[in-house]
A and B are shown apart, each in its own frame.
Chain A
Amino acid sequence: MSHISSYRANIKLENAIERGRPVEEDPGWEILDQAIWTTAEELNLDVSHSIRDYYGRSIYCDWSLSGPNVPRGIGVNVDRNTGEVVFVCDSYGGYERVVGEIKDRIVQNYLAICVTRALSALNYEVEVEEVPHPIEGKKVLVKGVL
C-alpha cells in the first residue's frame, strides 16, 4: 500500500532551546540562513541585519532582505524563547505583495532544504527540480528513490 499526504508546514527552531542551548545552535538556524541567502540570490536582494520603518528608523533583525522593490526591507527574527520565526516589515505604502512573495519564497526554500536533507538522511537517492509556476513563482519537486 502507498499513499499521498499533504501538509501545512510550520518553521519553529526549538530543538536547541529544549536542550537548553542557544537558538543559534539549532540545526534550523543554518538552514534558515541558507534559505535566506538562496532567496536573496533568486530575487536579486541584499542581505543585511536591519530594516527601516516608514519614518526611516532602523530596526535590528537576525537577517534582513532589501532591494529596489522593497527598499525598507523585510526582516527575519527568531524568538530566543520559543524558536518561532517571525517576519517583520513596515509594508505601509503598498509593499504587502512583494513582502509576501519574499516571505513565501524563504519558507519554500527552507522546506526544500529540509526535505532534501531528510530524504538523504533516510538513505534515499535525491533529485531536486525547480519548475517555474505562473501563479506560485516556482514549485520545488524533490524525488527520493531507495
Chain B
Amino acid sequence: MPRRIDVEIGRNGEIKVEYSGFEGETCFEEKEALEKALKEMGLWAIPITIVRKTSSQISDEIGMEQEKRERVAHP
C-alpha cells in the first residue's frame, strides 16, 4: 500500500493533515519531517489535535487499496 499524505488548507491558517498507509509509528516520524520542512520555510505548524485512526478506518483504507488492485488485475 502506498504511503499518502492528504493536506487540507482552510482559511486563516487552518491545516488538516491525514496520514495513510504508514506502518506502525512511522507516520509520526513523517509528521516530524513534514513539520521540520515547513519550519525551514517560515511556517510554524502548531498542533491542535492528533487523532490516531481507528482499526476500522485502517481496514477501510486497506480494503480500498485491495479493491483498486483487483480492478487493475481484472479490467
Question: Scoring B residues 1 to 28 as 1 if CB is less than 8 Å from chain A, else 0, what string do you get?
Answer: 0111111111111111111111111011
Inter-chain CA distance A15–B43, complex, in Å, is 10
Contact of A115 among B2, B14, B15, B47 (CB under 8 A): B15
**Chain B interface residue number, banded:** 35 or more
By a CB distance below 8 angstroms, the chain B residues around A3 are 19, 27-28, 31, 50-53
Inter-chain CA distance A13–B24, complex, in Å, is 34
The answer to whether A1 touches B46, judged by C-beta atoms less than 8 angstroms apart, is no
Q: Number of residues in A with C-beta < 8 Å to the partner?
A: 46
Contact of A1 among B27, B39, B40, B43 (CB under 8 A): B27
By a CB distance below 8 angstroms, the chain A residues around B73 are none
Stretch at the interface among A46-54, A57-65, A68-76, A101-109: A101-109
Q: What distance in Å separates the Cβ of A63 from its nearest Cβ neighbour in chain B?
A: 15
Q: Does more than half of chain A's interface fall in helix, strand or loop, or is it mixed?
A: mixed
By a CB distance below 8 angstroms, the chain B residues around A6 are 14-17, 47-49
Given A6-B16, A10-B46, do A143 and B38 touch, yes or no (CB 8 Å)?
Answer: no
Inter-chain CA distance A111–B16, complex, in Å, is 12
The residue in chain B whose Cβ has the minimal distance to the Cβ of A146 is B3
The answer to whether A15 touches B42, judged by C-beta atoms less than 8 angstroms apart, is yes
Given A3-B19, A7-B46, do A143 and B41 touch, yes or no (CB 8 Å)?
Answer: no
Given A2-B58, A111-B15, do A11 and B42 touch, yes or no (CB 8 Å)?
Answer: yes
The residue in chain A whose Cβ has the minimal distance to the Cβ of B27 is A2
**In the complex, B33 has a CB within 8 A of chain A:** yes
Question: Scoring A residues 19 to 40 as 1 if CB is less than 8 Å from chain B, else 0, what string do you get?
Answer: 0000000111001100000000
By a CB distance below 8 angstroms, the chain B residues around A10 are 13, 43-44, 46
Inter-chain CA distance A144–B31, complex, in Å, is 13
Contact of A145 among B4, B45, B53, B61 (CB under 8 A): B4
